[in-house]
């Protein structure tokens, strides 16, 4: 295969691929270069336009300023003769200058100087009397023969220490002789604000210079450059002035700062204002800042281009290398395929099913293309017999299953899907076998055309599985019969929490939904919340590997809640994870009710319904222990119905029983919830008063005695009036058992009877 790649055709193909890649990369480089070239000159043009727009803004503002100053000075010259006619004109003239200066923005100082150079009037009083005859601007004005023109002085430092430009007009006498000057000093701060307003980038600066080249103002300020002469050969200023153009844009190195910048300059010479020297305004930007975005795009595009070049070269090289490897692997695959085919044949003889290839068409005609050797064992026919005649196979299919198998095959072919069918075969020996026939399509027809479809699949003997399934069904039926005979609640839940089996006890069936309606439902959604909560806890414990779980619970039903004893168990098929959970709950309602009744009978007097002697004495023992522990008071009352034997003898035992029940009801109505009333025997009763001292017990006993005396019992023999004798005893923490307190209370009762009955007495 390597020799194949060494041929001339392969070499030419490889060379053409590299040449094509080179042309594509060259074209891409040309596109990127053209785009960068266009962006570069577009950046220059855009910045030129923006800088020119800014110098025009400054020019418009300075034109208005110079024009306003010229008019103001002209008006001032006309007013001077009128001021000098009156007395004390100095004060009025000074006030006029101050007012005029306030309405002329950008003007700092207004002065009127006589023919000798002495300042006669000024809005700044400190300048009056100053001799300016030696100043260049005064000498130049005195020698100027133009009576109309306004002089613009080069920047200079005033006597007040300010760096200014003066705007001067000459004052002429009646005969045209020189009679002094009026001057307006421009305010640098005003122009700084104006020039700062046009800066739209932090690297910008703007400057204002006199027409002779002296720098007046620079924003941001650079005090060291104030007054510098810009009129140097080759400087931007000189080139602008020499061009004769009103505005120019240049780029290169600035003479005054040594910076590389793009600068727009404009000569300021307002129309209608005769000035002897113009002003020049300049706005500039750093070239590095202007081209910074362009340089960023350049780096990105060059980086991307280099990445594409490297990736393309690497990709093509790898592809060509891969192509060589692919050819080598293709040959190796061909050899491997032959070996795999041989292995498949050996493996097909070992699997417990018949492997086959099958072709069918839309009309239902088909034939086997391949059958493994197992067909002799399973179908009792050789592969050659079935390959020659497909009808032999259909003859094996049970008549009841033929239609099902053909319908499944047709549906699978029509829908382009796998098919799976379980049918019965009657093999030549006469035995019946259950088989599973499964196949996957090789080619799925895209249109309803009679195109053959190839299938690959297997025929598996499932006779044993079918027999096992029948056995499982029988066992499940037996289990259902067993469960149906149980009078227990039986619930089977799978691992997803869904009910798979549900059985109500026989006497519940009419009270709850039909079990079939609960199948497949989440137990948490259909069981009462309190019961579902128990299921959740039990299943969690069983999933954690715990033993069977037992618990007593209440199942709410309409009419009567049922008391259950439930046992939960995990169902396992031998694996490490449960396959379900079984709950068997025995109905304990009747048993619990019987136990409750027995407990009640053991602690309650059957006649009066109050505590019997045993229950009363046990409660006394608990109260004595509490008094011993906490030191709180407690009292015991023992009472007896006076002459009760006479009631029984005179009215009968039934009336006597009614008297006893009446007394018990009176006591229950009067006692607190913490108190206790019990029958100690016959007509003798006890009252336990926790938290009550002796005085309180005596008071209650007397009140109860009077109430009994005033409340006759209504019996079937008529009203029966009766009285009681009461003995009162304190519960002593030193008592070791209730008998001591009972003895003291009995002594008090005996004392009450001996004292005439219907009394309350305390034991000694």
What band does 602 get if pLDDT is binned at 50, 70 and 90? low
pLDDT in tens, 5-45: 445 666 788 788 889 988 998 998 899 899 989 998 998 99
Mean pLDDT is highest, among 70-84, 354-368, 611-625, for: 611-625
Cβ-contact 735, 741 below 8 angstroms: yes
How confident is the model at residue 750, as a pLDDT?
92
What is d(CA 29, CA 23) in angstroms, rounded to the nearest whole number?
10
How confident is the model at residue 707, as a pLDDT?
94
| pLDDT exceeds cutoff 60 at 447 | no
Cβ-contact 553, 542 below 8 angstroms: no
What band does 2 get if pLDDT is binned at 50, 70 and 90? very low
| pLDDT exceeds cutoff 90 at 516 | no
How confident is the model at residue 698, as a pLDDT?
94
Write a three-state SS string for 699-764: HHHHHHHHHHHCCCEEECCEEECCCEEEEEEECCCCCCCHHHHHHHHHHHHHHHHHCCCCCEEECC
Task: Tell me 349's DSSP state.
Answer: T
Mean pLDDT over residues 208-222, rounded?
Answer: 87
The separation between the first and the last C-alpha atoms of the chain, rounded to the nearest angstrom, is: 129
Q: Between the CA of residue 683 and those of 131, 635, 656, 702, what are the distances in Å?
A: 144, 20, 9, 19
| pLDDT exceeds cutoff 50 at 3 | no
| pLDDT exceeds cutoff 80 at 475 | no
Give me the residues paired with residue 569 across strands.
Answer: 582
| pLDDT exceeds cutoff 90 at 712 | yes
Q: Is the dihedral of CA 142, 144, 147, 149 positive or negative?
A: negative
How confident is the model at residue 594, as a pLDDT?
76
What band does 444 get if pLDDT is binned at 50, 70 and 90? very low
pLDDT in tens, 245-277: 999 999 888 887 888 999 999 999 888 888 888
- Helix ranges, 560-612 (H): 589-603
Greatest CA separation found in the chain? Answer: 168
Q: What would the two tokens of residue 439 be?
A: 């196949």
How confident is the model at residue 448, as a pLDDT?
44
Torsion from C-alpha of 369, 371, 376, 382, nearest 10 degrees: 20
How confident is the model at residue 511, as a pLDDT?
59
The residue ranges of DSSP E strands in 254-365, in sequence order, are 260-268, 279-286, 353-360
- Which are the contacts of 393, defined by CB distance < 8 A and separation ≥ 6? 368, 379, 381, 386
Cβ-contact 94, 83 below 8 angstroms: no
Cβ-contact 569, 580 below 8 angstroms: no
pLDDT in tens, 487-513: 678 888 888 889 888 877 766 655 567
What is d(CA 60, CA 675) in angstroms, rounded to the nearest whole number?
109
DSSP letters spanning 241-267: HHHT-SEEEEEEE-TTT--EEEEEEEE
Cβ-contact 211, 126 below 8 angstroms: no
Q: Which of 101, 187, 409, 683 is catalytic?
A: 683
How confident is the model at residue 151, as a pLDDT?
86
In what helix (H) or strand (E) does residue 271 lie, and over which residues does it extend? none
pLDDT in tens, 459-470: 888 888 888 878
What is d(CA 346, CA 136) in angstroms, rounded to the nearest whole number?
121
Q: What would the two tokens of residue 543 be?
A: 């999933």
Comparing 135-149, 438-452, 641-655, which segment has the lowest mean pLDDT? 438-452
What is d(CA 727, CA 735) in angstroms, rounded to the nearest whole number?
18
How confident is the model at residue 153, as a pLDDT?
86
How confident is the model at residue 438, as a pLDDT?
87
Comparing 68-72, 140-144, 338-342, 642-646, which segment has the lowest mean pLDDT? 338-342
pLDDT in tens, 131-159: 888 888 888 888 876 666 888 888 887 76
SS3 414: helix
| Per-state percent for the chain, helix, strand, coil, to nearest 5 | 50, 25, 25
What is d(CA 305, CA 302) in angstroms, rounded to the nearest whole number?
5
- Which are the contacts of 45, defined by CB distance < 8 A and separation ≥ 6? none
| pLDDT exceeds cutoff 90 at 733 | no
How confident is the model at residue 636, as a pLDDT?
92
How confident is the model at residue 145, as a pLDDT?
67
| pLDDT exceeds cutoff 70 at 445 | no
Question: Please, is 184 exposed, middle or buried when counting C-beta atoms within 10 Å of its C-beta (0-12, 13-18, 19+)?
Answer: buried
Q: Are strands 432-441 and 419-426 parallel, antiparallel or unpaired?
A: antiparallel
The residue ranges of DSSP E strands in 462-618, in sequence order, are 488-494, 499-503, 549-555, 562-571, 580-587
Q: Is residue 683 flagged as an active site residue? A: yes
Question: Please, is 47 exposed, middle or buried when counting C-beta atoms within 10 Å of its C-beta (0-12, 13-18, 19+)?
Answer: buried
How confident is the model at residue 6, as a pLDDT?
47
pLDDT above 70 coverage of the chain, percent = 89
What is d(CA 39, CA 174) in angstroms, rounded to the nearest whole number?
66
What is d(CA 112, CA 94) in angstroms, rounded to the nearest whole number?
10
Comparing 561-565, 570-574, 740-744, which segment has the lowest mean pLDDT? 570-574
How confident is the model at residue 125, as a pLDDT?
83
| pLDDT exceeds cutoff 80 at 346 | no
Neighbours of 431 (CB within 10 A): 10
Cβ-contact 67, 272 below 8 angstroms: yes
pTM: predicted TM-score of the whole model, two decimal places? 0.43
SS3 301: helix
What is d(CA 279, CA 61) in angstroms, rounded to the nearest whole number?
13
Mean pLDDT over residues 661-683, rounded?
Answer: 91
SS3 430: coil
In which region does residue 413 sit, left (phi positive, over 0), alpha (psi from -120 to 50) or beta (all else)? alpha
Cβ-contact 164, 156 below 8 angstroms: yes
What band does 446 get if pLDDT is binned at 50, 70 and 90? very low
Mean pLDDT over residues 273-301, rounded?
Answer: 89
Q: Between the CA of residue 131 and those of 120, 138, 584, what are the distances in Å?
A: 10, 10, 127
pLDDT in tens, 660-670: 999 999 999 99
Cβ-contact 160, 127 below 8 angstroms: yes
């Amino acid at each position: 295969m390597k020799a194949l790649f060494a041929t001339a055709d392969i070499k030419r193909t490889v060379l053409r691929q590299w040449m094509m890649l080179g042309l594509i990369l060259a074209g891409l480089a040309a596109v990127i270069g053209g785009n960068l070239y266009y962006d570069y000159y577009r950046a220059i043009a855009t910045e030129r336009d923006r800088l020119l727009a800014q110098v025009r803004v400054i020019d418009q503002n300075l034109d208005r300023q110079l024009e306003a100053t010229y008019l103001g000075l002209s008006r001032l010259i006309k007013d001077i003769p009128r001021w000098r006619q009156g007395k004390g004109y100095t004060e009025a003239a000074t006030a006029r200058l101050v007012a005029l200066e306030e309405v002329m923005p950008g003007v700092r100082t207004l002065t009127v100087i006589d023919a000798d150079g002495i300042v006669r009037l000024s809005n700044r009083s400190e300048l009056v009397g100053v001799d300016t005859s030696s100043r260049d601007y005064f000498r130049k004005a005195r020698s100027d023969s133009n009576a109309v023109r306004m002089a613009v002085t080069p920047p200079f430092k005033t006597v007040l220490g300010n760096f200014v430009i003066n705007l001067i007009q000459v004052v002429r006498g009646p005969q045209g002789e020189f009679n002094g000057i009026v001057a307006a000093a421009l305010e640098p701060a005003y122009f700084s604000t104006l020039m700062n307003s046009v800066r739209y980038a932090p690297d910008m600066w703007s400057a204002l210079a006199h027409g002779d080249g002296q720098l007046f103002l620079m924003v941001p300020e650079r005090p060291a450059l104030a007054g510098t002469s810009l009129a140097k050969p080759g400087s931007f200023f000189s080139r602008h002035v020499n061009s004769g153009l009103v505005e120019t844009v240049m780029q290169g190195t600035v003479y005054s700062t040594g910076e590389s910048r793009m600068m727009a300059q404009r000569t300021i010479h307002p129309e209608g204002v005769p000035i002897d020297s113009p002003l020049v305004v300049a706005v500039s930007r750093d070239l590095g800042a202007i081209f910074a975005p362009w340089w960023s795009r350049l780096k990105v595009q060059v980086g991307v281009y280099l990445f594409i070049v490297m990736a393309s070269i690497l990709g093509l090289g790898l592809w060509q290398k891969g192509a060589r490897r692919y050819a080598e692997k293709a040959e190796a695959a061909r050899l491997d395929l032959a070996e795999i085919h041989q292995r498949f044949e050996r493996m097909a003889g070992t699997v417990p099913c018949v492997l086959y290839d099958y072709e069918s068409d839309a009309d239902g005609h088909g034939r086997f293309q391949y059958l493994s050797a197992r067909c002799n064992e399973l179908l009792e026919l050789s592969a050659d017999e079935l390959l020659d005649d497909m009808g032999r196979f259909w003859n094996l299919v049970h008549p009841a299953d033929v239609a099902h198998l053909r319908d499944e095959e047709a549906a699978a072919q029509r829908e382009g899907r796998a098919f799976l069918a379980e049918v019965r075969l009657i093999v030549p020996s006469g035995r019946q076998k259950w088989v599973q026939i499964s196949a996957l399509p090789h080619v799925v027809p895209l249109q309803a055309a009679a195109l053959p479809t190839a299938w690959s699949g297997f025929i598996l003997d499932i006779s044993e599985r079918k027999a096992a399934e029948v056995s499982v069904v029988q066992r499940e039926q037996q289990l259902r019969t067993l469960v149906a005979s149980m009078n227990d609640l039986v619930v089977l839940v799978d691992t997803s929490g869904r009910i798979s089996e549900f059985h109500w006890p026989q006497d519940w069936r009419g009270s709850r939904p039909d079990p079939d309606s609960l199948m497949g439902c989440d137990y948490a959604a259909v069981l009462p919340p309190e019961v579902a909560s128990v299921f959740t806890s039990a299943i969690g414990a069983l999933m954690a590997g715990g033993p069977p779980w037992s618990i007593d619970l209440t199942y709410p039903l309409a009419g009567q809640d049922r008391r259950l004893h439930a046992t939960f168990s995990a169902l396992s098929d031998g694996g490490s994870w449960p396959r379900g959970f079984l709950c068997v709950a025995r109905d304990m309602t009747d048993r619990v009710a019987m136990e409750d009744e027995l407990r009640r009978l053991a602690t309650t007097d059957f006649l009066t319904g109050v505590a019997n002697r045993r229950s009363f004495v046990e409660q006394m023992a608990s109260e004595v222990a509490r008094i011993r522990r906490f030191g709180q008071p407690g009292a015991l009352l023992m009472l007896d119905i006076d002459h009760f034997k006479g009631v029984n003898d005179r009215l009968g035992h039934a009336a006597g029983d009614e008297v006893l029940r009446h007394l018990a009801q009176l006591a229950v109505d009067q006692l607190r919830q913490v108190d206790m009333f019990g029958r100690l025997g016959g007509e003798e009763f006890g009252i336990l008063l926790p938290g009550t001292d002796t005085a309180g017990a005596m008071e209650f006993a007397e009140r109860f005695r009077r109430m009994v005396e005033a409340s006759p019992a209504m019996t079937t023999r008529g009203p029966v009036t009766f009285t009681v004798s009461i003995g009162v005893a304190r519960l002593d923490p030193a008592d070791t058992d209730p008998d001591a307190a009972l003895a003291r209370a009995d002594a008090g009762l005996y004392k009450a009877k001996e004292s005439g009955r219907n009394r309350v007495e305390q034991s000694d």
